[in-house]
Structure 1
Amino acid sequence: MTTPQSYFEHMYARSSDPWSFATRWYDARKHALTVASLPARRYQSAFEPGCSTGLLTARLAERCDHVLAVDAVPAAVASAATHLAAASNVSLRAGRMPADWPGDTFDLIVLSELGYYFDDGDLTTLLDRAVASLEPGGDLVAVHWRRPVDEHARSGDDVHDRIAALPGLARQARHEEADFLLEVYTRTPPEARSVAQREGLA
């Protein structure tokens, strides 16, 4: 089953930063690696569902003309608004995935610590909408914790296996550690180009 909304509401009722994103080196490093993995120097329009406290969103905003960040918990959106007060190119809204997936298209979608909260049906819908929302040549970044968590509907590795099986995506990068898996895909066609190819070096 998909992780209940009440789980997240209880987490944010106890703390405005329930996973300690603001203080853990693990998360600061992972967020830096996530942004460093982006193949393009600049993106026009990015979407980050499950933005939580907005710390990764702030890093994405430095590389994007506009970022739409969404979270299901209003308290999380309020926390993100505090962290992103100076980021005029970020739009925040409350919404549950995959039901409230926006109708816009994006050249960057970031699924960070999100996919393992969904059952088979909801994850299929989420991933199908992500691919459909990606502009041709746009990039999809997925990063997920790999260790077992009782509240997760599936493992992070399973989420990435499901993404790898999707048509219309070409994997550009994979960073694997004991704790998390980070992968970058490009929407095809056109044929995916490496960073060096995009820079005219290959």
Structure 2
Amino acid sequence: MPFTILHKIANTPAIKRFLTENRLFVKLYFNWRYLTADPYNVEKSEFERDKLQRTLEAIKPVGHVKSALEIGCGEGFLTEPLAKISARALGVDISGLVVNRARERFAHAPNIRFKVADILTCDFGEKFDLIACSEVLYYFELAQLPLVVERISDLLNPGGALLLCHARALGDDDSGVPMKKFGAKTIHELFISSPGFTKVYDQTYPMYRITLIRKD
């Protein structure tokens, strides 16, 4: 069936609501996106390298932790440095394709695990001292964000840290990426204003924002 026909069917209200609520759209999108390795050019892009370095600088106050979780880990470019400051690190992604690639890439690292999981439905069976969400939370619907905040809070140990890094979006900010309906401003402010969280670090750059929050 031609893509244009599938696209029209998927965007009918009832079908779109079903796909959105069950996160099937997101899973299909990322399985397609990761058909090629490093689709976001993290390894070669100076912009991406600088952003990763600034992200790592932001978590220095956290120090060494027992456990770290990266939500939306992709190929593990951030999970790897998280493992260097934690006894064990877990990277989760909704795409089984990229999780398999990450497992192969870091098969030599004994304290890194990767798992196919959606944080809204997965039972992790543990809590974490550090959780990182980089360029991932705008792939939830706006109406789902309060549940995402609640879920991440439940996954954090008391005193644990949450690292957020997201693109700024013209949908909710005066600068940033035009194609996103909401971005760092909506996401980060929702966490900052939620009871039980204290802002530790917050830096806005022209194209993205990095925030570190501590759970009370």
Give the TM-score of the pair, scaled to structure 1: 0.85
Contact 1:73 1:94 in 2 (8 A): yes
Matched, 1:176 2:197: no
Task: Output the CA distance in 2 between the equivalents of 1:101 and 1:121.
Answer: 22
Matched, 1:22 2:51: no
Task: Output the CA distance in 2 between the equivalents of 1:177 and 1:104.
Answer: 34
Contact 2:95 2:116 in 1 (8 A): yes
Matched, 1:63 2:82: no
Q: 1:138 aligns with which of 160, 164, 167?
A: 160
Identity %: 26
Matched, 1:163 2:191: yes
- Partner residue, 2:177: 148
SS at match of 1:4: helix
Instruction: Give the paired residue count.
Output: 186
Give the TM-score of the pair, scaled to structure 2: 0.80
Offset of residue 5 of structure 1: 2.1
Matched, 1:47 2:69: yes
Question: Pairwise CA RMSD of aligned residues?
Answer: 1.7
> Equivalent residues in 2 for 1:110-129 (5 A)?
110-129=132-151
Which aligned segments of 4 or more residues in structure 1 are displaced greater than 4 angstroms? none
- From the CA coordinates, give the structure whose radius of gyration is larger: 2
Offset of residue 103 of structure 1: 3.2
Contact 2:66 2:86 in 1 (8 A): yes
- Partner residue, 2:95: 73
Output the amino acid matched with 1:106.
F
Task: Output the CA distance in 2 between the equivalents of 1:122 and 1:88.
Answer: 34
More displaced, 152-161 or 27-36?
152-161
Per chain length, whose mean CA-contact separation is higher, i.e. which structure has more relative contact order (CA < 8 Å, sep 6+)?
Answer: 1
* 1:89-126 Cα distance to aligned partner (Å, 9 max, x none): 01111112322252311110111111111113332222
Q: Which structure 2 segments of 5+ residues have no match?
A: 1-19, 169-175
Q: Which structure 1 segments of 5+ residues have no match?
A: 189-202
Offset of residue 153 of structure 1: 5.1
- Partner residue, 2:215: 187
Output the amino acid matched with 2:51.
K
Contact 2:119 2:151 in 1 (8 A): no
More displaced, 50-59 or 155-164?
155-164
Contact 1:55 1:83 in 2 (8 A): no
| Cα pair distance change 1:101/1:154, threshold 3 Å | farther
Offset of residue 84 of structure 1: 1.7
